Amino acid sequence: MFEDYIPFFIQLAIASGLSLTLLKGGELLGPSRPNRIKIMPYESGMDPVGSARQRYSIKFYLVAMIFIVFDVEIVFLYPWAISFQDFLAAGVGLEVLGIVIVFIVILAIGLIYDIKKGGLEFD
Amino acid sequence: MELSQAYTSLLSDMGHTIPLILIVLTGLVIVLLDAFKPRHVSIPYLTALVLAVALGLEIQTIGSQGGTAYYELIRVGGMAAYVNAVILTSGLLSVILMKPYLERIDHNIGEAYALLLFSITGMMVLGSANSLVTIFVGLETMSICLYIMTALIRSHKGAIESALKYFLLGAFSTGFFLYGIALLYGATGTMMLPEMRGAVAVSDSDTMFWAGLALLLVGFMFKVGAAPFHMWTPDVYQGAATPITGFMSTASKTAAFASLILVLYYAVPAETWNGVIAILALITMIVGNVIAISQTNLKRMLAYSSIAHAGYVLVGLSAGTGAGYSGALYYMLVYTFMNIGAFGVIAFMEFDGKEGSEQRLDSLAGIGYKKPVLSVCMIFFMFSLAGFPPFGGFFGKIAVFAPAIDAGFIWLAIVGVLTSAVSAYYYLRVLVVFFMKQPDGVYDFDASPVPFSATAVIVLCAGVILVLGVAPSIMEVTMSFFSSSITTTAAVLP
């Protein structure tokens, strides 16, 4: 069992070893002569203005609400979709579809509320 | 389960849970209404109307034989209808108090009413659950809404602090609760409360079952605010907006106690756990009443008083008989009117600009002559909370202490009566300050008139307490929930 994975571990060792060696080698062997132009974020671009660290609200609770809406939807729709064939076979496919539509409408109300409260407006 | 029957039985069961469905739908409508027309004037009225309709529907079904719905996941009629009616009463009275209060502090947002409705949904599910999963779903729906309602006044640091404390401790206790459910399921192989009873014999030393039950009790004791799991109660009650505190302290406790009664009545044999409940009741009564003496803030004092009252209800539960459970249910009804009224009175007396959370009791000296109607009602509430006849609180205490004496817990009843005597000190001190003290400084007293609707609700609460004290015949109703044998109550309604 474990023997099967030995090539994988060799590959892992080579990949990490190579990247670490190259990084460290570049730092040790390469000349380091920084000047003001070189250390600018965009070497050939515009001169930076002000600080890059600006504070702005990401409206975390509204973003989290959008996440919850879709997250809950997926969690319940997967098992429903898998057992839908059984309900079709039992002849109640349309009714069960109706129940899920009720569920999605309830979630959609949450989404509508979120969008109206500015959940997708970033400023 | 026959799949082809699933849909028809679902539809037929919906007829038994119309109040629940009505409240959920109204909550969704209010969410939409608030999204398109923020702070629309109709939102509070719509909430109150729907709560009143649902309350009427539930009261009509109290007399009916209890049954189950949705594949025995939830109980309907009988006791469930009674518990739902108490919760809806609390919600209705709170909404009427909330509207003028939130308008005064400029926070009359639609979300408050939607959250109130959703939390009532959770409470109704919790108070009428027939399976551990239903209990958990109801508990979480209720708790999450209450966490947010605690932090409704976002600009106020105290509210944020109390909401965060409530949330963190609540999440922690939910962990206990969930682990308890997992162990109980592992030990009995069922989530249904009535089936659980047969799965474990009384003499059985099944560690997994008892560990699960202990963890479940910890979760419940947290939700009802019983010592030694009461630490969150004073901070949360002090920080939240006052009418919301009144709602939290009554409706959520009613639901949690009802759910606990269902677990104890259906799932576990009485003689095995009532010693534990008796000890918890003892600690809770002493802690609540003794610490309440030293409080200078009225809301904090009432928070400790609510801990003490949870202790009185636990005395009824410790009896382990139908009389004890029905006494506890009766107590919750009386307690709802007493506490909504008391919090309603202080909601319209506070003037510190911080929802009364930093107002000292002394600053209300002499207010009895400035707001006479509210203060006279406060006399009713304080005497009833202390357990004086002829108010409802007196018969509530009889209803919980007498079964405990019958069950052999005489020492518990003695402690209960002694701590009630202690409680008279801090309840009556409020009245002394209101009527017999002169203010020791000049306070920025809020002289604006109290809205008529709020006064009406508070006077109604005082009147109901008097009626319940003079004619406590509703105890016969709560008694009837536990008269029929356990096996027949699990039948599905026709």
- Which residues of chain B does A92 touch, with a Cβ-Cβ cutoff of 8 Å? 3-4, 6-7
For residues B402 and B475, the answer to whether their CB atoms sit within 8 Å is: no
User: CB of B327 within 8 A of CB of B321?
Assistant: no
> Residue B7 is nearest to which of A95, A109, A113, comparing CB atoms?
A95
3-state secondary structure of B206: coil
Mean per-residue pLDDT over chain B, rounded:
89
pLDDT over 80 (residue B310): yes
Would you call A92 and B31 a contact, using CB atoms and an 8 Å cutoff? no
Q: Is the pLDDT of residue B113 over 80?
A: yes
Q: Residue B377 in contact with residue B345, Cβ under 8 Å?
A: yes
- The residue among B191, B392, B408, B244 whose CA lies nearest residue B309 is B392
Closest CA to B213 of B134, B281, B138, B274: B274
Interface mutation target, options A65, A92, A115, chain B, most CBs of B under 10 Å? A92
Has residue B199 got a pLDDT over 80? no
What is the mean pLDDT of the segment spanning B338-362? 85
Over range A89-117, report the average pLDDT.
89
Query: Residues B162, B148, B330, B17: what is their CA dihedral angle, to the nearest 10 degrees?
Result: -170
B36: chain A residues, CB-CB within 8 Å = 116
CB contact under 8 A, B34 and A91: no
Check CB contact under 8 Å for B32 and A113: yes
Q: Which one of A95, A97, A105 would you mutate to disrupt binding with B, by most B Cβ within 10 Å of its Cβ?
A: A95
**Residue A123: predicted pLDDT:** 65
Distance CA B61, CA B64 (A): 5
Using CA atoms, how far apart are residues B133 and B169, in angstroms rounded to an integer?
Answer: 21
Best probe of the A interface among B5, B7, B36, by most A CBs < 10 A, is: B7
Candidates B163, B186, B281; CA nearest to B225 is B281
Report how far residue A18's alpha carbon sits from residue B66's, in angstroms, rounded to the nearest whole number: 73
List residues of chain A with CB under 8 Å from any CB of chain B. 86-87, 89-92, 95-96, 99, 106, 109-110, 112-113, 116-117
Contact A109 B4 (CB under 8 A): no
DSSP β-bridge partners for residue B297: B360
Chain A residue at shortest CA distance from B34: A113
**Portion of chain B with pLDDT greater than 70, in percent:** 95
Look up tokens 């009630």; give the residue.
B420
CA atoms within 13 A on the CB side of B37: 7
* Contact list, A112 vs chain B (CB under 8 Å): 32, 35
pLDDT score of B1: 56
Convert the pLDDT of each residue in B462-493 to its tens digit.
999 999 888 877 777 777 787 654 433 333 33
Write out the DSSP string of B263-325: IIIIIS-HHHHHHHHHHHHHHHHHHHHHHHHT--BHHHHHHHHHHHHHHHHHHHHHH-SHHHH
Write the ipTM.
0.81
Specify the higher pLDDT residue, B25 or B469: B25
Query: Which one of B2, B6, B31 has the shortest CB-CB distance to A109?
Result: B31
Shortest CA distance to B385 belongs to which of B397, B373, B376, B375? B397
Contact A112 B35 (CB under 8 A): yes
pLDDT in tens, B139-162: 999 999 999 999 998 888 889 999
| B123-151 average pLDDT score | 94
Cβ-based neighbours of B482, under 8 Å, separated by 6 or more = B79, B265, B321, B322, B323, B325, B326
Identify whether the C-beta of residue B94 lies closer than 8 Å to the C-beta of residue B341.
no
B3–A87 CB contact, under 8 Å: yes
User: In this predicted structure, what is the pLDDT of residue B322?
Assistant: 86
Tokens of B297: 């803030």
Report the alpha-carbon angle B426-B358-B351, nearest 5: 95
Between chains, do A95 and B4 touch, taking CB under 8 Å as contact? no
Using alpha carbons, list the distances in angstroms from residue B116 to B119, B222, B239, B274, B454.
Answer: 5, 21, 17, 34, 18
**CB distance B31–A106 less than 8 Å?**
no
Looking at residue A93, its pLDDT comes to 84
CA geometry: angle B423, B170, B185, nearest 5 deg:
110
Nearest CA in chain B to A115: B35
For B383, list phi and psi in degrees, rounded to 5.
-65, -35
- A90 and B35 in contact by Cβ < 8 A? no
CA distance B139 to B143: 6
Q: How far is CA B464 from each of CA A121, B428, B457, rounded to the nearest angstrom?
A: 50, 21, 10
**Over residues A104-120, mean pLDDT:** 89
Q: Could you report the per-residue pLDDT of B388-414, keeping only the tens digit for each?
A: 988 999 999 999 999 999 999 999 999
DSSP B354: S
> Which runs of consecutive H residues, i.e. helices, occur in A30-92?
60-89
Q: How many CB pairs under 8 A join A and B?
A: 31
Judged by CB atoms closer than 8 Å, whether chains meet at B32 and A110 is answered as no
Q: Do the Cβ atoms of B31 and A86 come within 8 Å?
A: no
Chain B residues in contact with chain A using a Cβ-Cβ cutoff of 8 Å: 2-4, 6-7, 10, 28, 31-32, 34-36
Minimum distance, in Å, between the CA of residue B3 and any CA atom of chain A:
6
Q: Is the pLDDT of residue B174 over 80?
A: yes
Answer for the pair B250, B310: CB distance below 8 angstroms, yes or no.
Answer: no
Q: Is the dihedral of CA B57, B62, B64, B66 positive or negative?
A: positive
Helix (H) or strand (E) holding B75: strand B74-76
A113/B31 CB distance under 8 A? yes
What residue of A is the nearest CA neighbor of B32? A113
Q: Which of B201, B489, B245, B431 is nearest to B343 (CA)?
A: B245
Q: Is B300 exposed, middle or buried (0-12, 13-18, 19+ CB in 10 A)?
A: buried
- What are the residues facing B75 on neighbouring strands? B68
| Higher per-residue confidence, B111 vs B472 | B111
Query: Is residue B67 helix, strand or coil?
Result: strand
How many Å lie between the alpha carbon of B4 and the closest alpha carbon of chain A?
Answer: 5
Which of B1, B2, B4 should we substitute to test contact with A (largest number of A Cβ atoms within 10 Å)?
A: B4
Contact B35 A116 (CB under 8 A): yes
Per-residue pLDDT at B28 exceeds 80: yes
**Kindly report the CA angle at B110 between B94 and B89, in degrees rounded to 5?**
20
Q: Are residues B3 and A92, on separate chains, in Cβ contact within 8 Å?
A: yes
Closest CA to B161 of B268, B73, B234, B87: B234
Residues of A within 8 A of B28 (CB-CB) are: 106, 109
Domain boundaries, chain A: 60-116
Picking from A90, A99, A116, the nearest residue to B36 by CB comes out as A116
Distance CA B87, CA B81 (A): 10
Whether residue A92 and residue B6 make contact (CB cut-off 8 A), yes or no, is: yes
What is the mean pLDDT of the segment spanning A11-24? 95
Q: Which SS3 state, helix, strand or coil, does residue B244 take?
A: helix
Rounded to an integer, what is the distance from CA B247 to the centroid of its chain? 7
User: Per the CB < 8 Å rule, is A113 touching B7?
Assistant: no
